[in-house]
């Protein structure tokens, strides 16, 4: 530990963390100490083996007290890791958090860091950053703070399983929750599933209690067919504008009897809930267990809106619920916190032209397969080829379509292996036991609890695994069968297969509108376009905007259990802020709003 000898008793203290060998092994610490000692208004310089440890923080506090330090800079790791640690350390000894800063020099020294450089460049970079930070700290002024009351309500964006869980957790704690869902019904992608892994439980049986309770919970204001269009303010007092599209059906009058749907003359392809493999009417209830179970009119296909004729639904409705004059609503909300649970979309495999999706009708995706296997799906649970309605006798599932791909998405989509195993089990055990099922894969990734056992069971029931990915799929024009060649690296053989049906296990990608919503919230996105957390381990559901939290697949690909865990964490973070009743914020932030 070293101190300047200029006699000055107030000023800036610079602490350089060795971080074991993470920093000390990649930069000349004594040279950094000498350099920092010569900077203007720096009156104390010290190195520390682990600054974040209890012992390291005591050293910092003693130096603040003994050398009468007014401002503190710690050269160590990413501020997302320990800035709050050091700010609290300084607060205990009387230093305002605004005058404590943490800068990252470890990124240039730590083995495995993508930014690691040689020792000379690490020293040059660290010197420059320390000098810049000292200059900035010299100019920094204390920011006046004001105390503001917290609005005890929360906006949850997205009505999938994560959004439902967060909403219910907070509503049960007594908070008013405004749940905004873009679609006419809640449930998200889980509503499209028949079974869930690794137990093969009934998906609707798990989801339905959550959707039903959400619909009747006295503390939840459910806003379906709605989108957030404007967000202003700060934690404790966000002002939000929600635009709600008309259903052209009065929800209070509609009983969900379905008579209007039965009599509607217009059939259209159902791209949302049948994934393009079934039909619905121009007025429809998305599915039998939809919440709210209220009809909605598709104006793009309704004869009244397109041609000014028909109105059969209006004439036949026993409760006079049809209202063609409904207008869009603008709803203004005041909330104390926001939780983003906007889920994901399935990658569009038409971009992978080698597999023929969109050209060959017998090439479908896993979500389309899920709808075919569902007893409430377009084929009532029968697995039939789209081209001719025949039962397939041979099926190939191709993994990592759009995932782990330099030309699409580099990341692993996490759930694709497991849902392929699930669907393979359902086909072999419940639907078509004699059908040959192949899974063509790069790697099988089964890392969750019970997942490896699930994989072994899939092999035991006769599903065939091919360690390789096909280069191309070609259709037999006469039979509509599909021909593919794939090299199995486990047996060093080139296999040529002609199968009845191909299933593409597609990447999980950010949901539609993610970028626009991020701009409204002023929240960062990661390199893959998902909402970015402050730190993946220390603060996995917090964002760069205090009071805005993320959970589920909005943050990145994950399965249902992990989504629920994150939803509970996001709800807990919101609760920990709102339960204070009032919080301190910088005066300028409050005045701006």
pLDDT confidence bin for 591, thresholds 50/70/90:
low
Structure tokens at 224: 């379906």
- Look at residue 173 and tell me whether its pLDDT is greater than 80: yes
Residue 360 forms part of a structural domain: yes
pLDDT tens-digit series, residues 421-473: 999 999 999 999 999 999 999 999 998 999 999 999 999 999 999 999 998 99
- Res. 4: pLDDT tops 60: no
- Indicate if 97 and 7 belong to the same structural domain: yes
Task: Tell me whether residue 154 is in a domain.
Answer: no
pLDDT computed for residue 7 by the predictor: 45
pLDDT at 535: 87
Asked which of 491, 509, 527 is the last residue of a domain, the reply is 509
- Structure token digits, residue 152: 């005890």
- Give the count of beta carbons closer than 10 Å to the beta carbon of residue 428: 18
Chosen domain end from 460, 485, 509: 509
pLDDT tens digit string along 399-409? 999 999 999 99
Task: Give the distance from CA 294 to its chain's centroid.
Answer: 28
Q: Tell me the backbone φ, ψ of residue 338, rounded to 5 degrees.
A: -130, 135
User: For the ranges 79-83, 257-261, 367-371, 494-498, which has the lowest average pLDDT?
Assistant: 79-83
Q: What is the pTM of this model?
A: 0.90
* Collapsed DSSP state (helix, strand, coil) of residue 178: strand
454 in the same domain as 308: no
Instruction: Answer yes or no: is pLDDT of 540 > 80.
Output: yes
| Residue 188 near residue 156 (C-beta atoms within 8 A) | no
Residue 224 · residue 183 · CB < 8 Å: yes
β-bridge mates for residue 340, sequence order: 157, 550
Distance in angstroms (rounded) separating the CA atoms of residues 592 and 590? 5
Both 500 and 518 in one domain: the answer is no
Does residue 189 register a pLDDT over 50? yes
Rounded to the nearest angstrom, the gap between the alpha carbon of residue 516 and the centroid of all alpha carbons in its chain is 15
Q: How large is the average pLDDT for residues 84-102?
A: 93
495, burial (CB in 10 Å: exposed 0-12, middle 13-18, buried 19+): middle
- 435 belongs to a structural domain: yes
Q: What is the CATH number of the domain that holds 50?
A: 3.40.50
In a domain, 589, yes or no: no
Q: Which of 470, 322, 339 is nearest to 396 (CA)?
A: 470
107 neighbors 99 (Cβ within 8 angstroms): no
- In terms of Cα–Cα distance, which of 272, 246, 110 is closest to 187? 272
Residue 86's SS3 state is helix
CA dihedral 408, 558, 194, 396 (to 10 degrees): 40
- Within 10 angstroms of residue 406's Cβ, the number of other Cβ atoms is 6
Residues 46, 94 within the same domain? yes
Helix or strand holding residue 509 (H, E): strand 508-510
Claim to verify: residue 491 and residue 516 sit in the same structural domain: no
Question: Going by C-beta distance under 8 Å and a sequence separation of 6 or more, which residues neighbour residue 30?
Answer: none
Find where tokens 């419940």 sit.
430
Rounded Cα distance, 584 and 180, in Å: 28
Expressed as residue numbers, the domain containing 574 is 160-238+331-343+511-584
Q: Considering the domain boundaries, does residue 388 fall inside one?
A: yes
Q: How high is the pLDDT of residue 231?
A: 97
pLDDT for the residue 6: 45
CATH number, domain of 377, equals 3.50.50.60
- What is the gyration radius of the CA atoms in the chain, in angstroms? 29
Same domain, yes or no: 169 and 75:
no
Query: Is pLDDT above 80 for 592?
Result: no
326 assigned to some structural domain: no
Residue 191, phi then psi, degrees to nearest 5: -70, -15
Q: How far apart are CA 530 and CA 316, in angstroms?
A: 45
If asked whether residues 475 and 400 sit together in one domain, one would say yes
Q: How many domains does the chain have?
A: 4
Would 152 be classed as within a structural domain? Answer: no
Q: What is the pLDDT of residue 10?
A: 55
Position 30 scores a pLDDT of 96
pLDDT tens digit sequence for 307-327:
988 999 999 999 999 999 999
Average pLDDT, rounded, for the chain: 94
- How would you list the strands of the sheet with 226-234, edge to edge? 226-234, 237-244, 329-335
Q: Over 50: is that where the pLDDT of 78 sits?
A: yes
pLDDT band of 80, cuts 50, 70, 90: confident
pLDDT of residue 587: 83
In a domain, 325, yes or no: no
């Amino acid at each position: 530990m070293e101190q300047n000898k200029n006699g000055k008793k107030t000023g800036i203290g610079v602490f350089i963390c060795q971080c074991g060998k993470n920093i000390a092994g990649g930069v000349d610490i004594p040279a950094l100490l000498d350099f920092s000692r010569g900077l203007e208004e720096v009156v104390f310089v010290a190195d520390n083996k682990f600054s974040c440890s209890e012992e390291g923080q005591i050293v910092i506090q003693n130096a603040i007290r003994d050398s009468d330090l007014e401002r503190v800079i710690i050269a160590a790791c990413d501020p997302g890791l320990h800035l709050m640690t050091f700010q609290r350390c300084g607060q205990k000894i009387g230093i305002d958090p605004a005058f404590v800063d943490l800068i990252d020099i470890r990124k240039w020294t730590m083995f495995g860091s993508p930014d690691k450089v040689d020792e000379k460049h690490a020293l040059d970079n660290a010197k420059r950053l320390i000098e810049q930070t000292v200059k900035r700290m010299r100019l920094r002024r204390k920011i006046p703070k004001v105390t503001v009351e917290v609005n005890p309500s929360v906006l949850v964006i997205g009505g999938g399983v994560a959004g439902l869980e967060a909403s219910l957790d907070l509503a049960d704690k007594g908070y008013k929750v405004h749940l905004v869902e873009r679609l006419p019904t809640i449930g998200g992608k889980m509503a499209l599933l028949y079974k869930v892994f690794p137990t093969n439980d009934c998906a609707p049986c798990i989801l339905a209690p959550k959707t039903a309770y959400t619909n009747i919970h006295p503390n939840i204001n459910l806003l379906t067919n709605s989108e957030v269009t404007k967000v202003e303010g700060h934690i404790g007092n966000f002002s939000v504008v929600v635009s709600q599209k008309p259903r052209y059906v009065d929800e209070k009058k509609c009983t969900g009897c379905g008579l209007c749907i039965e009599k509607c003359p217009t059939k259209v392809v159902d791209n949302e809930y049948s994934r393009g493999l079934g039909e619905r009417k121009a007025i429809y209830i998305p599915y039998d267990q939809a919440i709210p179970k209220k009809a909605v009119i598709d104006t793009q296909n309704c004869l009244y809106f397109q041609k000014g004729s028909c109105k059969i639904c209006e004439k036949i409705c026993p409760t006079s619920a049809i209202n063609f004059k409904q207008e869009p609503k603008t709803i203004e909300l005041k909330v104390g916190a926001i939780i983003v649970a906007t889920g994901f979309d399935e990658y569009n495999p038409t971009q992978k032209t080698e597999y023929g999706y969109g050209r060959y009708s017998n090439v479908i995706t896993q979500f389309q397969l899920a709808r075919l296997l569902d007893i409430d799906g377009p084929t009532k649970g029968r697995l039939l080829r789209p081209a001719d309605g025949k039962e397939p006798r041979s099926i190939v599932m191709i993994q990592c379509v759009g995932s782990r791909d330099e030309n699409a998405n580099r990341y692993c989509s996490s759930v694709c292996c497991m849902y392929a195993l699930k669907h393979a089990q359902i086909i072999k055990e419940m639907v078509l036991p004699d059908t040959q099922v192949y899974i063509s894969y790069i790697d099988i990734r089964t890392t969750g609890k019970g997942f490896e056992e699930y994989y072994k069971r899939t092999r035991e029931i006769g599903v065939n695994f091919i360690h390789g990915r096909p280069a191309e799929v070609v259709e037999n024009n006469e039979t509509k069968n599909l021909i593919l060649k794939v090299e199995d690296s486990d047996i060093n053989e080139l296999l040529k297969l002609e199968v009845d049906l191909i299933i593409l296990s597609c990447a999980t990608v950010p949901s539609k509108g993610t970028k626009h919503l991020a701009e409204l919230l002023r929240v960062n996105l990661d390199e893959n376009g998902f909402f970015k957390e402050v730190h993946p381990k220390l603060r996995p559901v917090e964002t760069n905007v205090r009071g805005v939290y993320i959970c589920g697949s909005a943050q990145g690909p994950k399965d249902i259990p992990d989504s629920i865990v994150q939803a509970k964490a996001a709800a807990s973070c919101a609760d920990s802020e709102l339960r204070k009743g009032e919080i301190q914020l910088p005066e300028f932030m409050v005045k701006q709003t």
